[in-house]
Amino acid sequence: MAKQNNRRRTTTSRKPKKKSSSVVMKKTIRIVAVVFLVSLFLGIVYHYKEGLAYYFSFKTDKVLDKEARDKRLSVVRNYQVLEKNDDKAIGIDVSEYQGEIDWDDVETLDNNYSLSFVFIRATVGNDRLDKRFEENWLQAKEKNIIRGAYHYYRPNENSIEQAELFIKTVRLQQGDLPPVLDIEKLPENQSVARLKIGLRRWLTKVEEHYQVKPIIYTGERYYDDFLKEEFSDYLFWIANYNFYREKLDEDWLFWQFTEKATVSGIKGNVDVNIFNGDLQQLQFITKE
Euclidean distance between CA atoms 253 and 216, whole angstroms: 10
Beta bridge partners of 113: 109
* 184 in active site: yes
Euclidean distance between CA atoms 265 and 79, whole angstroms: 20
- The answer to whether residues 168 and 149 touch, using CB atoms and an 8 Å cutoff, is no
CB atoms within 10 A of CB 39: 10
- The answer to whether residues 165 and 202 touch, using CB atoms and an 8 Å cutoff, is no
Euclidean distance between CA atoms 104 and 285, whole angstroms: 26
Euclidean distance between CA atoms 160 and 167, whole angstroms: 10
- The answer to whether residues 270 and 92 touch, using CB atoms and an 8 Å cutoff, is yes
Beta bridge partners of 128: 124
* 110 in active site: no
Q: Which of 100, 105, 161, 184 is catalytic?
A: 184
User: Could you give the residue numbers annotated as active site?
Assistant: 93, 184
